Structure 1
Amino acid sequence: MLYLMFIATLLICCLPLLPGLLGILLPALSWLPFAGLTHPGPQAFYQALAWPGLSASVLLTLSTGVVSTVLALAFTFLILQRYWGSHRWQQIESWLSPMLAIPHVAFAIGFAFTFSSTGIIARLIATFGGDPGQLSLLQDPYGIGLTLALAIKETPFLLLMSISVLQQLNVGRLLAAGNGLGYNRASTWLNVILPQWLPRMRLPIYAVLAYGISVVDMAMILGPTRPPTFAVLVWQWFNEPDVALLPRAAVGAFMLLMLGLCLLAVFRALEWLILRGFQGWQYAGHRKQRLPGRYFHWPLIAVPLLVTPVLMLWSVALRWRFPDLLPSRFSVQFWQQETAVFTELASTSLMLAGISTAIALCLAIGCLEYRDKTGTGIPGWLLAMPMVLPQVSLLFGIQITTYMIPGQHHLLWVIWSHVLFVFPYLYLALDGPWRSFDRRYTQTANSLGLSELQAWWRVKRPMLMPAICLALAVGASVSLAQYLPTLSLGAGRVSTLTTEAVALASGQDRRVSAIYGLLQGLVPFILFALATFASRYYQSKMTSGNYTRNAKANVLVSQKPHYK
């Protein structure tokens, strides 16, 4: 059974990557039989390279993606070295889940309403007698607003990924050793902890970088339009009504893929140069160094806290003239007129999230159990491909492949695409708890007469339920945030809160946009709250009732050698 689930995972979540890549190369060479293109050639490359503003679009993508990744990485390290192990860190850690629960689209809409030329920041400046002028981070030509929004939104993710890494490093012991040798806290973090922390954060950093250069939904809301970022330009090419222009879009997707792979290689080379090639700075002996970081966590908390009230105000504002700080008239008529629509969209979004997360959970548990039994697991590089490859490029090839399959199965393709992107996050969320589980519990259950399935269900499952609950929330939030998979493989026939929020944020009524932004952020927040409640419930259940009656037996088992 576990073998079949492992094979099914490879077929569902890994095998599509191959046609996804081939679906880019063949159309890029102008070979697309269903569109009447049967003579391969380089014509599409000439069309793409001749596009006016292509170089500016690529440079804009490089600047926003790379700078936002570097800023997020710098913010993460500075916050960690300043607050890790302190009482303030516990407060920061408690805010990570609410900040991560806000989807990128909802955050982008609120960010636009906050930092536009008529946003709440400009209104505050005008209220206190200042001149906001043309202060705006919305669609500025240099992508500054998009860069800052990406950096602020991705920093909590890197902080969350750093928790398990730093726990493995035993930071307290390293700081004590450094202090004993005369190094202050900043010097120990910079010379000792950074060289060990950075390589272990490689996959999360690559995921942030890949998202930064291939993001479409946030770039459509916050990024410049003339020219747009390269990912948005490729998406516009892909949506051209003329099927004969698909090869040009394929070339764009191929270029974006190569751009992403080159950036990953550059980041890997820079990591080697900093940590291995030029190590003199690690042994220079500077014992007293200073690093900023005291107030770097406040923008990460203040901006999301400011974004949510702004969305709430706009959703009930009937009349709000600039530069008034508050609306002059309030009304709930926009909520009333959108009730039927957003109820249907929310039910569709939850249905897709529920089905895709349930499938991904079964596959992840099957693969983890198969790895525990046989020692064979999914290779890390294969698992990381949906996370580190540009989504536009990967989805273009998959969609071209689906065109060759007869029938209108748009809902099925959308669910499949969600599983493809949910599975890696869910697998990684469960990987740590599965590795740390003590197998002697199930071995003891087997020795008492329980079968493998009974031991898993009655012993291992209850002990891992807290991790499973949080992993379900992570998987559902990833599914709810999928914009490109839903829109491309659904062919516009499957609408969710995310697709509607992006469409409405492109120039429609701000009140309706605020409503969908709130709803798009509220649903994952509720799921995270329920997951946290369920996780604490199972944790409390583990310390009461039948489990505490066997406390002596558990202690006896835990003191035995851990045979695997």
Structure 2
Amino acid sequence: MLVIIFVATLLLFASPLIIGFIGMLAPAFAWIPALNMHQPSFLGWQQLSTWPDLSHSIGLTLLSGLGSTTLALWWCYLILRRYWLSTQWQQIERLLAPLLAFPHVAFVLGFGLMFSSTGWLARIWHHLGLADSFYPTLIHDRYGLGLLLVLAIKETPFLLLMSMSILKQLNIKQFYNASVSLGYDHQQTWRMVIVPLWLPKLRLAIFAVAGYGLAVVDIALIIGPTHPSTLSMLIWQWFTDADLTQLPRAAAGALLLLIIVLLCFGLLRCIEWWLLSHSTAWQYSGAIKTLTLRSRNTSKASAIATLFSYGLLLLPLIMLPILALWSFALRWRFPDLLPSRYSVRFWYQQLEPLQQLISNSITLALISSLGALIMAIICLEYRQKHHRGIPTILIAIPMVAPQLSLLFGMQIAVSFIAGQSFWLWVSWSHWLYVFPYIYLTLDGPWRSYDQRLDQTARSLGLSGWQTWWRVKFPQLKPVLLLAFAVGCSVSLAQYLPTQMLGAGRVPTLTTEAVTLASGQDRRVSAIYGLLQGLLPLVFFTLAMVFARRKTSHAQTTKVIL
């Protein structure tokens, strides 16, 4: 039974990747029989090459994608260097779960309400007497700096989470103590000793961040540059064009985006090789004596670092009260700091459509997450029993490949299938992106599980199923709940899979929030952004509550025994 479900999972996971690539490749070379295009040609590439400002769009894509990746990695390094071996790290670790649960779209909506030309920051700016001074333009700016900043802020917690397990495996404290005994100071130890060990193991997470930043669509729709826009935005506009004869151009653009992402992965890998394996003199230059700063300057630097780190990590959560305030604001004139009148009228107006949207969002999250959780458990059990599992590179493809390129091909392939099974295709696409996160969340605990517990249970007469249910499941229950919450959070944040494979017939909070972000009424946008941000937090909170109840129950049982 394990073998059958493992093979089925492998097919379900690999088939959309193959279908997506073929479905993108064929129209990219103008082979679309449904549109009477029976002879492959370079029509799409010709249309793509003649598009004005294409090079500018590619430049914006590289700037926002690679720039946000570099900035997020730098911030991650600074926070780790400042807090990893300190007592304050536990506080940061507790912040990571709600930060990761907070969706990108909800954060961007709050970010827009804070940093727009009439946002909260502009109001504070005006009251400080700086109305005629320089004000940072971060919404739809021509260089995409707002998009770059948002991506960097949201991806920093992800890199921190991925770094946690890496640094624990490396036993950093031992390396740190040995380096200090050789005369290295704190910064030199991290730069010369820890970074060469930490960075290669973070490679997959860096690729995931870069791939998402280079191909992001939903965030670019809300705050990204518009004239010209990023390449992913151009492809999305071409794909939604009513003129189907322009489909080869969209497919060629999707293939070009995939090539750019792969080339960027190669560039990042070459930079890593150059710094860590080729030009290595900086690693072995030895301890360099530096002048000791005065205690007052040191304390100031520490205070600034603390303020920066906590400000960076808490900024996404600050967006929740901003969204809540805007959702109840009836009259809020500029430059007033607070609304002059409040009302629940907009909540009542949106009550009926919100019921359907929340129902669709939760249903998709539960179906995709529960299915992914069961299949991930079976695949991990199969690997533990037969020492053969799903290759990591295959698991990583949906995380690092551009969503637009992959889903473009899947949508083209699905269009040839008769019927209106939009819920099936959307659930399948959500499962495709949920499964890797759940699998990787469970991978570490499954590897570290003490199998002697199972052997003891079997020696006492329990069957295989009884051993798993009565011994292994209680031990892994907290991490299973966490993985399920992670899966629900990933599903609730999906925009492109829902929009492309659902053809607009399966609306969710995320799709409506992105659509309404370009509207004129900020109160309605704030309502959708607030609910879209709260739903994942609800799942994480429930997972933490049930996990703690399990832990306290186990401790009580031990005391009684």
With normalisation by structure 1, the TM-score equals 0.95
Residue 548 of structure 1, CA deviation: 6.0
Query: Equivalent residue for 1:470?
Result: 482
Query: Equivalent residue for 1:70?
Result: 70
**Cα displacement string for residues 437-492 of structure 1 (whole angstroms, at most 9, x for unaligned residues):** 00000111111111111100110011000000000010000000000000000001
Superposition pairs of residues 304-315 of structure 1, within 5 angstroms? 304-315=316-327
How many residues are matched? 549
Query: Equivalent residue for 2:383?
Result: 371
Query: Equivalent residue for 1:81?
Result: 81
Residue 549 of structure 1, CA deviation: 6.8
Query: Equivalent residue for 1:111?
Result: 111
**Cα displacement string for residues 530-551 of structure 1 (whole angstroms, at most 9, x for unaligned residues):** 1111122222233232x5677x
Task: In structure 1, give the amino acid aligned to 2:49.
Answer: L
Partner SS for 2:312: helix
Superposition pairs of residues 292-311 of structure 1, within 5 angstroms? 293-311=305-323
Partner SS for 2:330: strand
Query: Equivalent residue for 2:549?
Result: 537
Superposition pairs of residues 43-442 of structure 1, within 5 angstroms? 43-131=43-131, 134-288=135-289, 293-442=305-454
CA distance in 2, matches of 1:149, 1:367: 36
**2:327 and 2:526 in contact (8 A); partners too:** yes
Partner SS for 1:38: coil
Question: Judging changes above 3 Å, is the alpha-carbon distance between structure 1 residues 446 and 288 closer, same or farther for their aligned structure 2 residues?
Answer: farther
Q: Unaligned regions of 5+ residues in structure 2, if any?
A: 293-300
**2:57 and 2:229 in contact (8 A); partners too:** yes
**2:235 and 2:253 in contact (8 A); partners too:** yes
CA distance in 2, matches of 1:502, 1:377: 38
CA distance in 2, matches of 1:66, 1:147: 9
CA distance in 1, matches of 2:436, 2:318: 32
**1:78 and 1:296 in contact (8 A); partners too:** no
Partner SS for 1:15: helix
Residue 319 of structure 1, CA deviation: 0.9
**1:187 and 1:286 in contact (8 A); partners too:** yes
Partner SS for 1:392: helix
Task: In structure 1, give the amino acid aligned to 2:181.
Answer: G
Task: In structure 2, give the amino acid aligned to 1:157.
Answer: F
**2:183 and 2:287 in contact (8 A); partners too:** no
With normalisation by structure 2, the TM-score equals 0.96
CA distance in 2, matches of 1:342, 1:440: 50
Residue 308 of structure 1, CA deviation: 1.7
Task: In structure 1, give the amino acid aligned to 2:243.
Answer: D
CA distance in 2, matches of 1:389, 1:362: 24
Residue 272 of structure 1, CA deviation: 0.7
Partner SS for 1:296: helix
Question: Judging changes above 3 Å, is the alpha-carbon distance between structure 1 residues 181 and 134 closer, same or farther for their aligned structure 2 residues?
Answer: closer
Task: In structure 1, give the amino acid aligned to 2:52.
Answer: P
**1:116 and 1:122 in contact (8 A); partners too:** yes
Question: Judging changes above 3 Å, is the alpha-carbon distance between structure 1 residues 208 and 128 closer, same or farther for their aligned structure 2 residues?
Answer: same
CA distance in 2, matches of 1:78, 1:321: 40
Query: Equivalent residue for 1:500?
Result: 512
Task: In structure 1, give the amino acid aligned to 2:71.
Answer: L
Question: Judging changes above 3 Å, is the alpha-carbon distance between structure 1 residues 433 and 369 closer, same or farther for their aligned structure 2 residues?
Answer: same
**2:157 and 2:313 in contact (8 A); partners too:** no
CA distance in 2, matches of 1:309, 1:467: 30
Residue 294 of structure 1, CA deviation: 4.5
Question: Judging changes above 3 Å, is the alpha-carbon distance between structure 1 residues 37 and 471 closer, same or farther for their aligned structure 2 residues?
Answer: same
**More deviation in 194-203 or 85-94?**
85-94
**1:122 and 1:135 in contact (8 A); partners too:** no
CA distance in 2, matches of 1:38, 1:163: 53
Residue 95 of structure 1, CA deviation: 1.3
**2:182 and 2:287 in contact (8 A); partners too:** no
CA distance in 1, matches of 2:457, 2:363: 37
CA distance in 2, matches of 1:320, 1:370: 59
**1:463 and 1:542 in contact (8 A); partners too:** no
Q: Give % identity.
A: 54
**Cα displacement string for residues 74-117 of structure 1 (whole angstroms, at most 9, x for unaligned residues):** 00011101111212212211211121121000000000111111
**Cα displacement string for residues 157-194 of structure 1 (whole angstroms, at most 9, x for unaligned residues):** 11111111111011111111111111111111111110
CA distance in 1, matches of 2:560, 2:248: 67
Work out whether 1:513 is the aligned partner of 2:518.
no
CA distance in 2, matches of 1:139, 1:262: 27
CA distance in 1, matches of 2:308, 2:183: 27
For the aligned residues, what is the CA RMSD?
A: 1.4
Question: Judging changes above 3 Å, is the alpha-carbon distance between structure 1 residues 53 and 330 closer, same or farther for their aligned structure 2 residues?
Answer: same
Task: In structure 1, give the amino acid aligned to 2:213.
Answer: G
Task: In structure 1, give the amino acid aligned to 2:426.
Answer: V
Residue 261 of structure 1, CA deviation: 0.5
Query: Equivalent residue for 1:40?
Result: 40
Partner SS for 1:87: coil
Query: Equivalent residue for 1:562?
Result: none
**Cα displacement string for residues 124-164 of structure 1 (whole angstroms, at most 9, x for unaligned residues):** 11112222555321111111111111100110111111111
Query: Equivalent residue for 2:494?
Result: 482
**More deviation in 463-472 or 282-291?**
282-291
**Cα displacement string for residues 507-551 of structure 1 (whole angstroms, at most 9, x for unaligned residues):** 231000000000000000111111111122222233232x5677x
Task: In structure 2, give the amino acid aligned to 1:85.
Answer: L
CA distance in 2, matches of 1:382, 1:523: 30
